[in-house]
Amino acid sequence: MNGQKIKRRVGKYEVGRTIGEGTFAKVKFARNSETGEPVALKIIDKEKVLKYMQAEQIQREIATMKLIKHPNVVQLYEVMGSKTKIYIILEFVTGGELFHKILNSGRMSEKEARRYFQQLINAVDYCHSRGVYHRDLKLENLLLDAFGNLKISDFGLSALSQQVRDDGLLHTTCGTPNYVAPEVLKDGGYDGAAADLWSCGVILFVLLAGYLPFDDTNLLNLYKKISAGEFTCPPWLSFSARKLITRILNPNPVTRITISEIMHDEWFKKEYKLPVFEETKERNTDDIGAICKDCEVHNVREKEDQPTPMNAFELISLSEGLNLENLFDVDQGFKREIRFTSKCSANEIINKIEEAAKPLGFDVQKKNFKMKLKNVKAGRKGNLNVATEIFQVAPSLHVVKINKAKGDTLEFLKFYNKLSTRLEDVVWKTEDDMDDAK
C-alpha cells in the first residue's frame, strides 16, 4: 500500500468535506471523476426522513428542480438512491448567500441591487412559466456563484401547478414570516405568482435599505404591518426605486404589479440584459418515486396530518397581547390556557413536551399534533388533565396552546411552572429576551 487515503465514492462522484448540515441531510463537496467538475452532493438519510415525515417534501423538491434549468437557479444534475440514502447531485455554488453579503457590507447601490433583482425576477418568471411557485424566497435562499451571479436555491416549500385547487389558488400557509405575503396569512387561498412577487419586493427593499421593511418582535404587530403594507422607504432611495417597491409591496394581490409590468418599469429596465440559455426538454420524473420508495411506503403507513395552520387573524383573536418578549412568562396569573411560540418542528415540540411531562407524573396520549396529559395522582379536584395543541403559522414557526381540561387551576399553574423550566430550549426567544436574561 502506498499510504494514500482511499476516497469515498458515490457512483462516479468522489466525496470530500462536509460543507453544510441540516436535520436529515448533509451536503458534501464532491467531484465528478469523469469530468473533474466540482458538485454539491446532498445526502439525505431515509431513516430521518421517516422520523420527521419529510418524504413528500423531498420528493417535491426533487421533482421541482428537475423541471427547471435556468442560469439563475441552482442546477440539479442527477438523483441516485441506495437502501438507506438519497443522493442529490447539485451545482456547486461558491459565492455564499446574498444574505451574508448584506450582513457584511450593508446596503447596496441601486445599480448593484438592480442587477441582482433583474436576475431574481428572470428566474422567478421562468419558474412560474414551468408551473413552479417557490413560496419561500428570502435572502438566505439566494446564493452567489464565483462570478457574482445570483442562484435561487431550496425548493423544499415550492408548489407545483398541480397543487392549485379548483378555485385556482394555493391554500397552504408557508414562507418565512418577514417575507410572507399578506394574502398567505389568510384562509382564502392565494395566487402563488403574486405571493412570490411580494417576497421579491421584500428582497429588493433589503438590498437597497440594508434592513427589512416589515420587522417587529411582536408577532401580531408584524402581521398587522404586513397586512396593511405598512413600511417606510429610506430617504436615500431614488423616486423610481420607491415607486417600484411600493407597487410590489401592495397588500392587495389583485392590484399588485405583475412580473410583466416590472419588466417594463423604468427603474428595472436600466442596463437590463435578457438571459441567454438553452432550453432543455422536460426531464422525466418517474425515477423519483423509485429512489424514495422506502420512504414512501413507510410514510404512507406512519404519516400524520400536518399541524393545523393558523393565520395571523386567528392569532389576534386568541390573544390581544401575544408578544414574543413575554410569551413564556410564568407569572401570567390564574389562567386556564397558556401559549408560547417555537421555531422547533412540530414533532420536536411534541417529543420535548412528552419528555418533560412524564417525570412530573403525567401519562401522555398523542394524536395528530394534539396531546392529552393526565396526572396519575388525584389532586384537590381530581386528576389534573392538560390538553395541548400545536398550530402552524409558518413552516419554521408554531404556536403551542396548553390549557387545563380538568382539575384545579392552581395545580395547573404549578405544573406549568415546572414544565416551563424543562422547555426553555423549545421556546422562541427574541434578542430582547436574550438581553434580559443576561
Q: Do the two domains 98-269 and 308-437 of this chain adopt the same fold? A: no
| In the predicted structure, residue 430 carries a pLDDT above the cut 90 | no
**Residue whose C-alpha cell reads 425576477 in the numeric block:** 121
Calculate mean pLDDT across residues 404-425.
Answer: 82
Query: Among 434, 424, 432, which Cα is nearest to 328's?
Result: 424
Residue 325 confidence (pLDDT): 38
Residues with Cβ within 8 Å of 407's Cβ and at least 6 positions away in sequence, in order, are 375, 379, 380, 381, 382, 383, 384, 385
CATH superfamily assigned to domain 9-92: Phosphorylase Kinase; domain 1 (3.30.200.20)
How far, CA to CA in Å, does 308 sit from each of 11, 20, 169, 368?
41, 31, 19, 9
- Residues 152 and 144: their CA atoms lie apart, in Å, by 9
pLDDT for the residue numbered 427: 78
Q: Residue 78: is its pLDDT beyond 60?
A: yes
pLDDT at 376: 84
Closest C-alpha to 78, from 86, 89, 67: 89
- 423: phi > 0 → left, psi -120 to 50 → alpha, else beta; which? alpha
C-alpha 175/C-alpha 184 separation (Å) is 9
Give the span between the Cα atoms of 165 and 161, in whole angstroms: 9
- Residue in the block written with cell 436574561: 437
**Per residue in 132-159, pLDDT tens?**
887 788 888 899 999 999 998 875 433 3
Predicted confidence at residue 280, as pLDDT, reads 55
β-pair type (370-379, 25-32): unpaired
Overall average pLDDT of the 360-377 stretch: 87
- DSSP one-letter code for 407: S
Pairwise CA distance, residues 206 & 210, whole Å: 5
311 band by pLDDT with thresholds 50, 70 and 90? low
Q: What pLDDT, on the 0 to 100 scale, is given for residue 319?
A: 42
DSSP string, 53-83: T-HHHHHHHHHHHHH---TTBPPEEEEEE-S
What single DSSP character describes residue 359?
G
- Contact (Cβ atoms closer than 8 angstroms) between residue 423 and residue 365: no
Please report, for the chain, the start and end positions of each structural domain, with discontinuous segments joined by +.
Answer: 9-92, 98-269, 308-437
Please give the single-letter amino acid code of residue 229. G
pLDDT averaged over the chain? 77
Strands 38-45 and 13-21: unpaired
Distances (CA, A) of 199 to 196, 260, 364, 381, 397: 5, 16, 41, 52, 18
Joined together, the cell numbers standing for residue 327 give 410569551
Please indicate whether residue 188 or residue 416 has the higher confidence score (pLDDT): 416
Q: How many CA atoms lie within 13 A of 242 on its CB side?
A: 9
Q: Which one-letter amino acid corresponds to residue 324? A: L
Q: Are 55 and 295 in contact (CB under 8 A)?
A: yes
How sure is the predictor about 281, in pLDDT bands with cuts at 50, 70 and 90? low
Q: Greater confidence, 395 or 260?
A: 260
Task: Name the more confident of 23 and 75.
Answer: 75
For residue 38, what pLDDT band results from cuts at 50, 70 and 90?
very high
Confirm if 184 and 137 have CB atoms less than 8 A apart. no
Range in 69-73, 271-275, 280-284 with the lowest mean pLDDT: 280-284
- Whether the CB-CB separation of 336 and 404 falls below 8 Å is answered with yes
pLDDT band at residue 198 under the 50/70/90 scheme: very high
Tell me what pLDDT residue 410 has.
79
- Give the CATH fold of the 98-269 domain: Transferase(Phosphotransferase); domain 1 (1.10.510)
136 belongs to the catalytic site: yes
- Helix, strand, coil % (nearest 5) of the chain? 40, 25, 40
All three cell numbers of 88, joined, read 442529490
H/E stretch holding 373 reads strand 370-379
Inter-helix orientation angle 192-209/98-105, to 10°: 30
Instruction: Please pick, among 136, 196, 216, 294, the residue that the annotation labels catalytic.
Output: 136
pLDDT tens digits for range 234-246: 999 999 999 999 9
| The domain over range 308-437 is classified in CATH as 3.30.310.80 | yes
List the single range of 25-29, 44-48, 101-105, 334-338 with lowest mean pLDDT: 334-338
CB 388 within 8 A of CB 353: yes
Annotated binding site for ATP: 42
- Which range (167-181, 263-277, 319-333) has the least confidence? 319-333
> What pLDDT sits at residue 95?
87
Instruction: Specify binding-site residues.
Output: 42
pLDDT of residue 284: 52
Distance CA 430, CA 330 (A): 17
Half-sphere exposure of 364 (CA within 13 A, CB side): 17
Are residues 391 and 308 in contact, defined by beta-carbon separation less than 8 angstroms? yes
Instruction: Work out the average pLDDT over 53-65.
Output: 68
Per the CB < 8 A criterion, the answer to whether 139 and 211 are in contact is no
The answer on pLDDT for 187 being more than 50 is: yes
Strand order in the sheet with 25-32: 9-10, 13-21, 25-32, 38-45, 85-91, 76-81
> Which among 321, 86, 346, 90 is positioned nearest to 221, based on CA atoms?
321
pLDDT at 162 over 80: no
Q: Which residue has the cell 403574486?
A: 194
